[in-house]
């Protein structure tokens, strides 16, 4: 007898809809038996446990590298966390050893007991997050138990048009699952921050989690609908439902494919004005993604991560190796490297900064690195060397005076002469620029423009400083907007100063990726806008659908506006009138 | 009698997720760089700062205060490094 349609309500975890056939994901189940050991067996058992840990660690390291390059650094972090559990002396390794030794039990039983206790403890905690972490502990447990058998699981490959149905999909499952043919995910367990949800969102695959007993009620090959927008799963849907979901799915796919068609195209207006669309990146993984989305350069390379992830100040060689990776990948496209940008609110673990009453107005950005020129010198030397391999520009953050720019340029000069003496290969004529993010830099833009090769407007800090509104303080969040007339006028002034001095002017804050703001930036005539990689195809489509002429009129109109509301109304009106050009 | 160096400080968690996820990892990784014995306390709970499971089980969240106590030759440096990591909101993005 064939069962009829059945609906399951769960938690929406990744948007979009998918129609396919159920692929039941069943994980190898590891049964744990208790075995008593003789006294002579104890040391051997501990050795067996230790070698299983080594095997499991090697496996996780490989997994970490693979996920990092295939999906992204953030998604890979979970494996780093799992590695740390494997290295946890106090709560894992020691207790297991003690248990094997004192209770004379087999390693499997000791691992099961110790980690299950931790998992239970996590499950009983109040936060949803911690309850989900219990799954991580069990995942590590399973990995160690498998490793104790001497082998670790293989890849499973669902067929075409699969909807993966599982009781639970743990990080190790997601890593060993070939996702190329997967159209959707549906799991009994999990919440919006569980690993399957994160991976599904990154890959743009619809997912619903928290479906309780779905996996026992579905049969392999059943037609199934996953509605990630509503958190709905329909098993064996009737013909009508199936049809309407198929239509929806193909619309979505068409939309995404269409948008991706804009990725490789230039951002050129209908009347021939071209603006560079760059990406803001922090790590090499972001870079691959940025290139696939059509980035024409890196408008902001944040270097803080190179420092935060090091136990001490990184050496010139380490910084050089790191930067070389970016420059090499980008070829002759610009890579704008922002020098170290730290402050009392974002210090480094190994560099003590005195506490300040007003860190936002204190010792930060270029102010720190000019007072500790050896930090800046090391970084600039590494940058000049990497510049010999491509098109690297150097940018200084938090500039508020002409003197600071001159001093920073002296450091560049010193770096060059040292490199010359040391006989290292480097490039001397790199472009030197500054971020415009303080009101003083806006007011001094004409003078600053004479000192440098380019400007990049950092609208996040600029908005905060122009409006004197802390961007993390909700009480003043009404003031904090890059559409404030004061901010728009500041941006306009900076662009004009750059035009007069004939230097490059770009933008790398939130505003640059805001679809409502982009026509304004085109109208002002910026050379380049730099944004999160995901926003690039949409930005390109937008630019290709407007004319420079209409954008200039928009600028004139927006500059007349005296209130935030008026500015928004004008920009929204313009955006509504756009009809998108085909790719 | 030779007394061990001891250092202690109390700090507030100002990053969004508290002592979980990436911040918890960074915290433990930093603690492991020091020789001193380091413990973290939250309310009546205490954990070894070098144990990820221990640190997670504190359930320390945004706004909570934690006390870091180190004993050993590099106790002072250890406490300082961990406190500044917390103060920096674990280097949370811009």
pLDDT at A546: 97
Q: Is B74 on the interface with A (CB under 8 A)?
A: no
A312 occurs within a structural domain: yes
Chain A residues close to B52, C-beta within 8 Å: 81, 84-85, 87-88, 91
List residues of chain A with CB under 8 Å from any CB of chain B. 77, 80-81, 84-85, 87-92, 118, 121-122, 125-127, 129-130, 133, 137, 282, 302, 304-305, 308, 311, 344-350, 352-353, 355, 460
Q: Mean pLDDT lowest for which of A26-40, A129-143, A265-279, A306-320?
A: A26-40
Q: Is B53 on the interface with A (CB under 8 A)?
A: yes
B77 occurs within a structural domain: yes
Q: Mean pLDDT lowest for which of A31-40, A165-174, A528-537?
A: A165-174
A32 occurs within a structural domain: no
Q: Which of B28, B51, B57 sits opposite A121 (nearest CB)?
A: B57
Q: Which residue has the higher pLDDT, A257 or A499?
A: A499
Q: How far is A583 from chain B (nearest CA, A)?
A: 34
pLDDT at A1: 40
A291 occurs within a structural domain: yes
Residues A389 and A478 in one domain: yes
Q: Mutate one of B51, B55, B78 to test the A interface: name it (highest A CB count within 10 A).
A: B51
A252 occurs within a structural domain: no
Question: Has B64 been annotated as catalytic?
Answer: no
Q: How far is A222 from chain B (nearest CA, A)?
A: 37
pLDDT at A343: 84
Name the band, by pLDDT with cuts 50, 70 and 90, for residue A132. Answer: confident
CA angle at residue A363 from A358 to A367, to 5 degrees?
A: 145
* SS3 at position A53: helix
First to last CA, chain B: 49
Instruction: Indicate the DSSP class of residue A285.
Output: H
Predicted-assembly ipTM surpassing the 0.85 threshold: no
pLDDT at A63: 79
Last residue in a domain, options A183, A207, A240: A240
Domain, as residue range, for B57: 6-91
Chain B residues close to A91, C-beta within 8 Å: 48, 51-54, 57
Q: Is the pLDDT of residue A323 over 70?
A: yes
What does the alpha-carbon distance between residue B10 and residue A571 come to, in Å, rounded to a whole number?
48
β-pairing, B6-12 vs B37-42, is: unpaired
Residues A173 and A296 in one domain: no
B76 occurs within a structural domain: yes
Q: Is B15 on the interface with A (CB under 8 A)?
A: no
pLDDT at A357: 85
B40 occurs within a structural domain: yes
CB pairs under 8 A between A and B: 88
What does the alpha-carbon distance between residue A218 and residue A560 come to, in Å, rounded to a whole number?
62
Residues 6+ apart with CB under 8 A from A101: A42, A46
B1 occurs within a structural domain: no
pLDDT at B94: 32
Q: Is the pLDDT of residue A296 over 90?
A: yes
H helix runs in A438-547, sequence order: 439-443, 445-449, 459-467, 485-500, 518-524, 536-544
A441-466 pLDDT tens trace: 999 999 999 999 999 999 999 999 99
Residues A358 and A469 in one domain: yes
Total domains in the fold of chain B = 1
What does the alpha-carbon distance between residue B64 and residue A482 come to, in Å, rounded to a whole number?
32
Nearest to A208 by CA among A218, A197, A220, A194: A197
Residues A485 and A374 in one domain: yes
Q: Quote the mean pLDDT of chain B.
A: 88
User: Do A24 and A79 meet the contact criterion of CB atoms below 8 Å apart?
Assistant: no
* Residue A104, domain CATH: 1.10.274.10
Nearest to A218 by CA among A186, A255, A240: A186
Residues A196 and A289 in one domain: no
Q: How far is A330 from chain B (nearest CA, A)?
A: 23
Q: Is the pLDDT of residue A497 over 90?
A: yes
Residues A454 and A329 in one domain: yes
* Residue B47, domain CATH: 3.30.1340.10
| CB within 8 Å: B56 and A127 | no
What does the alpha-carbon distance between residue A344 and residue A363 come to, in Å, rounded to a whole number?
7
Residues A142 and A160 in one domain: no
Residues 6+ apart with CB under 8 A from A473: none
Domain, as residue range, for A439: 261-576
What does the alpha-carbon distance between residue A462 and residue A507 come to, in Å, rounded to a whole number?
11
Residues paired with residue A458 on neighbouring β-strands, in sequence order: none
pLDDT at A64: 84
pLDDT at A324: 94
H helix runs in A282-432, sequence order: 284-292, 304-308, 316-330, 366-371, 373-387, 402-422
Residues A80 and A192 in one domain: no
B26-59 pLDDT tens trace: 899 999 999 999 999 998 899 999 999 999 999 8
Token digits of residue B85: 């990591």
pLDDT at A154: 55
- Per-residue pLDDT, averaged over A540-563, amounts to 97
Name the band, by pLDDT with cuts 50, 70 and 90, for residue A155. Answer: low
Chain A residues close to B51, C-beta within 8 Å: 88-92
Question: Has A195 been annotated as catalytic?
Answer: yes
Q: Which of B17, B52, B59 sits opposite A125 (nearest CB)?
A: B59
Q: Which of A85, A125, A349 sits opposite B52 (nearest CB)?
A: A85
pLDDT at B93: 42
CB atoms within 10 A of CB A177: 22
Residues A49 and A115 in one domain: yes
**Annotated active-site residue in B7, B13, B15, B20:** B20
Q: Quote the mean pLDDT of chain A.
A: 90
Residues A63 and A135 in one domain: yes
pLDDT at B1: 41
Instruction: Indicate the DSSP class of residue A213.
Output: T
B21 occurs within a structural domain: yes
Token digits of residue A40: 């002579």
β-pairing, A223-227 vs A207-209, is: unpaired
Residues A172 and A305 in one domain: no
Nearest to A158 by CA among A175, A177, A176: A177
Chain B residues close to A349, C-beta within 8 Å: 26, 30, 81-82, 84-85, 88
What does the alpha-carbon distance between residue A70 and residue A289 come to, in Å, rounded to a whole number?
10
A333-379 pLDDT tens trace: 999 999 999 887 677 878 878 888 888 899 999 999 999 999 999 99
A284 occurs within a structural domain: yes
Total domains in the fold of chain A = 3
Name the band, by pLDDT with cuts 50, 70 and 90, for residue A67. Answer: confident
What does the alpha-carbon distance between residue B61 and residue A346 come to, in Å, rounded to a whole number?
19
Residues A267 and A375 in one domain: yes
What does the alpha-carbon distance between residue A136 and residue A140 come to, in Å, rounded to a whole number?
6
Burial zone of A272 (CB within 10 Å; 0-12 exposed, 13-18 middle, 19+ buried): exposed
B29 occurs within a structural domain: yes
A124 occurs within a structural domain: yes
């Amino acid at each position: 007898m064939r069962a009829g349609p059945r609906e399951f309500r769960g938690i929406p975890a990744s948007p979009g809809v998918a129609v396919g056939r159920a692929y039941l994901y069943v994980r190898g189940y590891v049964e744990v038996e208790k075995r008593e050991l003789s006294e002579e067996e104890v040391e051997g058992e501990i050795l067996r446990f230790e070698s299983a840990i080594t095997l499991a660690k090697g496996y996780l390291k490989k997994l970490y590298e693979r996920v990092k390059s295939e999906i992204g650094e953030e998604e890979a972090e979970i494996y780093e966390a799992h590695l740390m559990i494997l290295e946890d002396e106090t709560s894992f390794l020691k207790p297991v050893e003690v248990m094997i030794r004192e209770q004379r039990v087999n390693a499997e039983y000791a691992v099961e007991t110790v980690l299950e206790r931790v998992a239970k403890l996590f499950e009983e905690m109040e936060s949803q997050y911690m309850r989900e972490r219990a799954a991580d502990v069990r995942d590590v447990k399973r990995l160690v138990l498998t490793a104790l058998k001497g082998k670790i699981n293989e890849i499973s490959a669902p067929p075409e048009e699969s909807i993966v149905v599982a009781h639970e999909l743990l990080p190790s499952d997601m890593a060993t699952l070939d996702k190329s043919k997967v159209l959707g995910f549906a799991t009994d367990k999990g919440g919006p921050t569980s690993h399957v949800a994160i991976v599904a969102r990154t890959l743009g695959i619809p997912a619903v989690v928290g479906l309780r007993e779905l996996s026992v009620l579905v049969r392999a090959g059943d037609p199934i609908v996953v509605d990630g927008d509503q958190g709905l799963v329909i098993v064996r849907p009737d013909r009508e439902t199936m049809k309407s979901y198929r239509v929806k799915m193909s619309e979505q796919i068409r939309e995404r494919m269409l948008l991706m068609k804009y990725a490789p195209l230039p951002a050129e207006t209908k009347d021939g004005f071209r603006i560079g669309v760059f990406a803001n990146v922090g790590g090499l993984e972001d870079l691959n993604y940025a290139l696939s989305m059509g980035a024409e350069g890196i408008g902001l390379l944040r270097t803080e991560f190179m420092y935060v992830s090091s136990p001490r100040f990184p050496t010139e060689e380490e910084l050089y190796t790191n930067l070389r990776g970016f420059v090499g990948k980008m070829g002759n496209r610009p890579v704008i490297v922002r020098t170290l940008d730290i402050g009392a609110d974002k210090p480094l673990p190994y560099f003590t900064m005195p506490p300040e009453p007003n860190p936002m107005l204190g010792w930060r950005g270029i102010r720190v690195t000019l007072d500790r020129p050896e930090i800046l010198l090391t970084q600039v030397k590494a940058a000049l060397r990497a510049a010999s391999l491509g098109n690297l520009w150097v940018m200084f953050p938090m500039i508020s005076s002409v003197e600071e720019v001159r001093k920073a340029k002296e450091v560049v000069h010193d770096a060059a002469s040292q490199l010359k003496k040391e006989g290292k290969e480097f490039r001397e004529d790199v472009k030197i620029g500054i971020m415009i993010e303080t009101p003083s830099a806006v007011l001094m833009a004409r003078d600053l423009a004479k000192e440098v090769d380019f400007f990049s407007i950092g609208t996040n800090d600029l908005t905060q400083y122009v409006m004197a509104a802390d961007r993390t303080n909700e009480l003043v969040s009404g003031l904090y907007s890059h559409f404030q007339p004061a901010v728009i006028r500041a941006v306009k002034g900076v662009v004009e100063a750059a035009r007069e001095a004939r230097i490059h002017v770009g933008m790398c804050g939130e505003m640059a990726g805001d679809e409502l703001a982009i026509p304004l930036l085109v109208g002002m005539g910026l050379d380049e806008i730099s944004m999160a990689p995901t926003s690039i195809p949409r930005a390109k489509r937008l630019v290709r659908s407007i004319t420079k002429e209409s954008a200039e009129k928009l600028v004139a109109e927006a500059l007349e506006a005296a209130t935030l509301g008026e500015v928004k109304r004008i920009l929204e009106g313009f955006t509504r009138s756009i009809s998108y050009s085909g790719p | 009698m030779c007394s061990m160096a001891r250092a202690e400080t109390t700090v507030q968690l100002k990053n969004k997720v508290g002592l979980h996820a990436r911040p918890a990892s960074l915290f433990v990784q930093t603690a492991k760089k020091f020789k001193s014995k380091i413990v973290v306390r939250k309310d009546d709970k205490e954990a070894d700062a070098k144990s990820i499971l221990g640190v997670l089980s504190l359930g320390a969240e945004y706004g909570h205060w934690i006390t870091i106590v180190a004993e050993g030759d590099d106790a002072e440096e250890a406490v300082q490094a961990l406190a500044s990591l917390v103060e920096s909101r674990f280097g949370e993005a811009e």
